[in-house]
């Protein structure tokens, strides 16, 4: 409610400013440039040896990754919008903004709103070259949106909805609300051992380690890069 | 897929780990990069200038010369570099395209040289990025028009196979093509002039009749003027009918401005012929003669400048409108003010506000007739303000109109509107092409059965087939999308077919099978038979679903359960590479029954007659939902 009031006030102020400008005769386009702040930070990562020791990647692989990264993000950091745009290119049929946001929050460890190359590459090495326990840890971190150590049904619903959004609407069979809830129910049935309505990290890791399918599928990307 | 972000594919694939715990199905096998070698620098020697880049950079666009194996033809063994005998300046832009994903058109380059280089390196010009695309298209169009103009200048003789009608139309439009046309052109011009002069002279008072005042010439020499008028109208009518006959599109010709002017010019004469007997309307008839002055507009066919003027006025309609509007506002304001200022003075000519309009207009346009003059001090003050503001208000929009006119005149009158429309349409269609190309790549490749060969632990020849048709990047991308499908247990379909299927299945009994149906619970059907990769089992009518273990090898299949449908029409529109259709023994309850038998030819209308159809060992391909039937999906277990 207060945000609406604030917005109203802001618009009122803008309107009076506009009228004042009309009367005094300045063109509005001249002033807009002042309102945009320049946010060009330059950021460069730590040196190659340090990154090599922190991750499981070889020197050449790091070089390859950084070259691609720098090509698209010359300033050295990725902010959320750029990340969303890049991710959307891989899923042209669907809407990837929600899932990209979850991903961004999961990658961004220090919560400063931008991803540096180190953060990306450290997580990447966990995901592609880490142990299954590390991978499951990362997945739990992704699902736990508010980072309280528990996955609730609402969080899982959000996550699943965002994954289904990646598909877009030209899918078959057509997505129904019930299918989504069914999926959530199945997940909780499997993972929630003590049936208390939330999944903690130990339950999660335990259940996943027992499931052959999941163990198998965690390994398929091991040769990516 | 935008190859410019190929570097991010590892990130996207790693992020897919997040889907794994939620998925209930096993994931497909990832494509292996068998020939993964260390990235190396390659040297491209273009007419002596050496460019170096990573091999990966060039591999981003595998359907161009540099990205495919075609460049091996240019490999120089002694110097271990690729030598191209082409222009190095243009090559810079081409190589930058590989590096950044954007193709730019340098302004100093000749358009045809650039086109040739693009064609040589296998790059289509449509992917020129937006910043340079307008310039490119403009130059290209100028070039094409110049070539066409040159062609036309050389084309003095008639083309051998033009019909008489086409010759006539060409003669009308370009009078300098043949002498007959030129003669016709001058004759009509002459008669237009005669007609206009006749109209004018008709009203001049000439001569005296005894004991009568001056009468206009028209009434003195009535027959002569009537003959003249008749002759002109004859000529104009004949000309109009000939143009109508020769026009390629008669409807469009009749709607054009020039033909309307023609019609309006000759109509009063015919109306006059018809109405001579009726005394009452002869007054109205006299007014119609005013329209004869429209004949002067026929001159615009003869004068280019007149046409440009008309077009300028049309294109400056908004400025003219603004001028009119502001003038009206000012007139009303000042008229009101003057009326009330002069209200006090006696014998004032400003009797009402509308009467003051005349004064205001005359003053604002600086005419100043002097028939109405303010007498009070206040009136004089406001009158002077009025004249000053009039100068300003009129002076403002006029330069805009003038500059418009000169711009159009100097540009050789290519219709700006036509050009803007073409560019806009082309741009929209370009955006549509690139968007649909990238978004429908995955369903297309699914239809081509590539994912199936990915899924099963394929033999060697399938891998080679895979490499032939898609690049590693694309196959990895498709694998990612396939994992997504498995996670959510839904399938991608092509957008167009999705719309079709949506409309048609909405009307039918869509069995609301949840995704769990297609999972380990199995198929509650009365019969099923499976199609493995190598062999085909015959359809059996009443098998139970005990063959669930064989379903492991089934990829996603669609089972159609429906009545007889006219399949041929929908089949042909689907354009599948390998047709599959369901042969059903389905009960009316709509339960899932049999499985698929692949038939290479379009199936007959009767589904049930196909159990004995021979099936070649095609690779499985997921058939698309056949619109109009109940479709249930069975996916791999």
Q: pLDDT-derived band of residue B571, with 50, 70 and 90 as boundaries? A: very low
Q: Are A138 and B50 in contact (CB under 8 A)?
A: no
Question: Would you tell me which residues 17-36 of chain B have a C-beta closer than 8 angstroms to some C-beta of chain A?
Answer: 17-27, 29-30, 32-33
The rounded percent of chain B whose pLDDT value lies above 90 is: 15
Give A50-60 pLDDT, tens digit per residue. Answer: 888 888 888 88
Q: Rounded distance, CA A76 to CA A70, Å?
A: 6
Position B361 pLDDT exceeds 90: yes
Question: Would you tell me which residues 59-88 of chain A have a C-beta closer than 8 angstroms to some C-beta of chain B?
Answer: 60, 64-65, 67-69, 71-72, 86-87
Give B438-484 pLDDT, tens digit per residue. Answer: 666 666 666 655 545 444 444 444 444 444 445 677 788 888 888 88
Q: Do A213 and B26 touch (CB under 8 A)?
A: yes
What is the pLDDT at residue B614?
Answer: 39
Q: Do B493 and A172 touch (CB under 8 A)?
A: yes
Q: Are A163 and A169 in contact (CB under 8 A)?
A: no
Give B186-231 pLDDT, tens digit per residue. Answer: 998 999 999 889 888 888 887 666 656 677 777 778 888 889 889 9
The DSSP secondary structure of B340-360, one letter per residue, reads HHHTSSTT-S--SHHHHHHHH
Judge whether A202 lies within some domain: yes
What is the pLDDT at residue A26?
Answer: 54
Domain that holds residue A210: 1-22+56-223
Contacts of B499 (CB under 8 A, 6+ apart): none
- Nearest C-alpha in A relative to B625: A172
Mutate to test the interface with A, among B20, B441, B501, B634 (most CBs of A within 10 A): B20
Question: Would you tell me which residues 425-444 of chain B have a C-beta closer than 8 angstroms to some C-beta of chain A?
Answer: 435, 438-439, 442-443
Give B523-538 pLDDT, tens digit per residue. Answer: 333 343 343 333 333 4
Q: Chain-wide mean pLDDT for chain B?
A: 71
What is the pLDDT at residue B386?
Answer: 93
Higher-confidence residue of B120 and B291: namely B120
Of A210-219, B119-128, B264-273, B609-618, the one with minimum mean pLDDT is B609-618
Q: pLDDT-derived band of residue B178, with 50, 70 and 90 as boundaries? A: confident
Q: Are A137 and A177 in contact (CB under 8 A)?
A: no
Judge whether A74 lies within some domain: yes
What is the pLDDT at residue B216?
Answer: 75
Report the residue from B1, B20, B39 with minimal CB separation from A218.
B20
What is the pLDDT at residue B338?
Answer: 93
Residue A139 maps to which CATH number?
Answer: 1.10.238.10
Contacts of B190 (CB under 8 A, 6+ apart): none
Domains of chain B in sequence order:
41-157 (3.30.710.10), 174-302 (1.20.120.350), 312-427 (1.10.287.70)
- Give the global pTM: 0.47
Q: Rounded distance, CA B374 to CA B276, Å?
A: 50
Q: Chain-wide mean pLDDT for chain A?
A: 80
What is the pLDDT at residue B574?
Answer: 38
What are the backbone dihedrals phi and psi of residue B78, each rounded to the nearest 5 degrees, phi first?
-65, -45
Give A140-196 pLDDT, tens digit per residue. Answer: 888 888 888 888 888 888 888 888 888 877 777 777 788 888 888 888 888 888 888
Q: Do B435 and A92 touch (CB under 8 A)?
A: yes
Position B487 pLDDT exceeds 60: yes
Judge whether A212 lies within some domain: yes
Q: Cα dist. A65→A56, A122, B4, B133, B396 in Å? A: 13, 12, 13, 32, 60
Judge whether A121 lies within some domain: yes
Q: What is the DSSP letter of B128?
A: B
Q: Do A224 and B15 touch (CB under 8 A)?
A: no
Residues of A in contact with B35 (CB under 8 A): none
Position B288 pLDDT exceeds 80: no
Distance of CA B88 to the CA centre of its chain: 35
Segments in B202-316 forming alpha helices (H): 217-220, 222-246, 250-255, 257-275, 282-288, 304-315
- The mean pLDDT of B11-19, rounded to a whole number, is 81
Q: Are B43 and B81 in contact (CB under 8 A)?
A: yes
The DSSP secondary structure of A30-61, one letter per residue, reads HHHHHHSPP------PPPHHHHHHHSS--HHH
Give B239-285 pLDDT, tens digit per residue. Answer: 999 999 888 888 988 898 888 988 888 888 888 777 766 666 666 76
Position B369 pLDDT exceeds 90: yes
Check residue B457 and give left, alpha or beta (phi > 0: left; psi -120 to 50: alpha): beta
Contacts of B236 (CB under 8 A, 6+ apart): B188, B191, B195, B262, B265, B266, B295, B298
Higher-confidence residue of B391 and B541: namely B391
What is the pLDDT at residue B377?
Answer: 92
Judge whether A45 lies within some domain: no
Domain count of the fold of chain A: 1
Higher-confidence residue of B275 and A199: namely A199
Mutate to test the interface with A, among B6, B10, B19, B21 (most CBs of A within 10 A): B21
Q: Are B30 and A145 in contact (CB under 8 A)?
A: no
For helices A132-143 and A117-129, what crossing angle results, to 10°? 120
Position B330 pLDDT exceeds 80: yes
Q: Rounded distance, CA B636 to CA B486, Å?
A: 10
Q: Rounded distance, CA B190 to CA B231, Å?
A: 12
Judge whether A162 lies within some domain: yes
- The mean pLDDT of B37-42, rounded to a whole number, is 77
CA distance B495 to chain A (A): 6
Higher-confidence residue of B244 and A111: namely B244
- The mean pLDDT of A60-88, rounded to a whole number, is 83
Segments in B396-490 forming alpha helices (H): 397-410, 416-439, 441-447, 450-455, 460-469, 472-488
Q: Do B10 and A124 touch (CB under 8 A)?
A: yes
């Amino acid at each position: 409610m207060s945000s609406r009031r604030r917005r109203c006030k802001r618009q009122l102020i803008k309107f009076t400013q506009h009228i004042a400008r009309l009367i005094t005769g300045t063109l509005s386009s001249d002033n807009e440039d002042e309102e945009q702040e320049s946010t060009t930070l330059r950021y460069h990562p730590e040196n190659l040896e340090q990154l090599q020791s922190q991750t499981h990647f070889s020197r050449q692989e790091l070089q390859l990754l950084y070259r691609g990264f720098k090509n698209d993000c010359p300033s050295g950091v990725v902010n959320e919008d750029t990340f969303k745009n890049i991710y959307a290119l891989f899923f042209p049929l669907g809407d990837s903004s929600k899932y990209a946001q979850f991903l961004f929050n999961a990658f961004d460890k220090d919560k400063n709103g931008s991803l540096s190359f180190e953060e990306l590459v450290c997580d990447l090495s966990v995901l592609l070259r880490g142990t299954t326990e590390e991978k499951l840890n990362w997945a739990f971190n992704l699902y736990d949106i508010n980072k309280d150590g528990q996955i609730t049904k609402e969080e899982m619903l959000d996550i699943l909805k965002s994954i289904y959004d990646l598909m877009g609407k030209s899918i078959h069979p057509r997505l129904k609300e019930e299918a989504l809830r069914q999926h959530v129910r199945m997940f909780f049935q499997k993972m929630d051992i003590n049936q208390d309505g939330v999944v903690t990290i130990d339950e999660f890791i335990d259940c996943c380690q027992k499931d052959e399918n999941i163990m198998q599928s965690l390994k398929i990307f091991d040769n990516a890069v | 897929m935008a190859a410019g972000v190929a570097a991010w594919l590892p990130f996207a694939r790693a992020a897919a780990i997040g889907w794994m715990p939620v998925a209930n199905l096993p994931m497909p096998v990832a494509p292996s990069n068998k020939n993964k070698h260390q990235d190396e620098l390659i040297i491209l020697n273009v007419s002596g200038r050496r460019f170096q880049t990573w091999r990966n950079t060039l591999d981003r666009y595998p359907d161009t010369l540099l990205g495919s194996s075609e460049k091996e033809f240019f490999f120089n063994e002694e110097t271990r570099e690729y030598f191209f005998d082409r222009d190095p300046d243009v090559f810079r832009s081409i190589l930058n395209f590989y590096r950044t994903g954007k193709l730019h058109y340098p302004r100093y380059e000749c358009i045809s040289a650039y086109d040739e280089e693009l064609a040589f390196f296998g790059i289509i010009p449509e992917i020129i990025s937006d910043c340079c695309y307008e310039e490119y298209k403009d130059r290209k169009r100028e070039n094409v028009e110049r070539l066409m103009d040159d062609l036309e200048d050389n084309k003095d003789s008639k083309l051998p196979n033009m019909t008489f009608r086409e010759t006539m139309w060409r003669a009308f439009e370009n009078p300098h093509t043949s002498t007959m046309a030129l003669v016709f052109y001058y004759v009509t011009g002459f008669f237009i002039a005669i007609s206009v002069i006749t109209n004018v002279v008709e009203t001049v008072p000439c001569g005296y009749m005894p004991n009568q005042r001056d009468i206009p010439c028209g009434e003195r020499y009535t027959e002569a003027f009537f003959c003249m008028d008749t002759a002109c109208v004859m000529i104009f009518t004949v000309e109009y009918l000939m143009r109508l006959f020769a026009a390629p599109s008669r409807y469009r010709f009749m709607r054009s401005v020039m033909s309307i002017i023609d019609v309006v010019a000759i109509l009063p004469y015919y109306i006059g012929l018809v109405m001579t007997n009726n005394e009452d309307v002869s007054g109205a008839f006299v007014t119609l003669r005013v329209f004869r002055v429209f004949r002067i507009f026929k001159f615009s066919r003869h004068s280019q400048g007149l046409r440009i003027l008309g077009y300028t006025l049309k294109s400056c309609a908004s400025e003219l409108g603004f001028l009119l509007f502001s003038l009206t506002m000012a007139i009303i304001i000042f008229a009101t003010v003057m009326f009330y200022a002069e209200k006090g003075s006696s014998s004032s000519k400003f009797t009402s506000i509308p009467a003051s309009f005349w004064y205001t207009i005359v003053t604002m346009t600086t005419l100043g007739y002097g028939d109405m003059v303010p007498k009070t001090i206040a009136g004089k003050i406001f009158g002077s303000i009025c004249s000053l503001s009039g100068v300003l208000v009129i002076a403002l929009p006029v330069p805009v109109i003038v500059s418009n006119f000169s711009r159009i005149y100097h540009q050789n009158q290519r219709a700006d509107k036509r050009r803007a429309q073409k560019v806009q349409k082309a741009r929209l269609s370009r955006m549509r092409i690139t968007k649909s190309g990238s978004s429908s790549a995955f369903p297309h490749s699914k239809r081509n059965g590539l994912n199936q060969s990915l899924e099963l632990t394929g033999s060697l020849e399938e891998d080679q087939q895979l490499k032939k048709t898609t690049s590693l990047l694309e196959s990895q991308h498709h694998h990612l999308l396939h994992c997504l499908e498995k996670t959510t247990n839904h399938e991608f379909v092509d957008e167009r077919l999705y719309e079709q299927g949506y409309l048609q299945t909405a009307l039918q009994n869509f069995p609301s099978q949840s995704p769990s149906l297609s999972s380990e619970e199995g198929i509650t059907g009365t019969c099923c038979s499976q199609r493995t990769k190598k062999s085909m089992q015959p359809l059996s009518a009443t098998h139970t679903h005990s063959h669930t273990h064989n379903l492991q090898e089934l990829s996603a299949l669609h089972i159609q359960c429906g009545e007889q449908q006219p399949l041929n029409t929908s089949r042909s529109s689907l354009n599948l590479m390998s047709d599959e259709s369901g042969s059903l023994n389905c009960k009316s309850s709509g339960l899932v029954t049999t499985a698929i038998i692949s038939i290479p030819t379009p199936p007959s209308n009767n589904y049930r007659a196909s159990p004995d159809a021979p099936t070649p060992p095609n690779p499985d391909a997921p058939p698309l939902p056949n619109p109009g039937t109940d479709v249930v999906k069975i996916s791999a277990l």
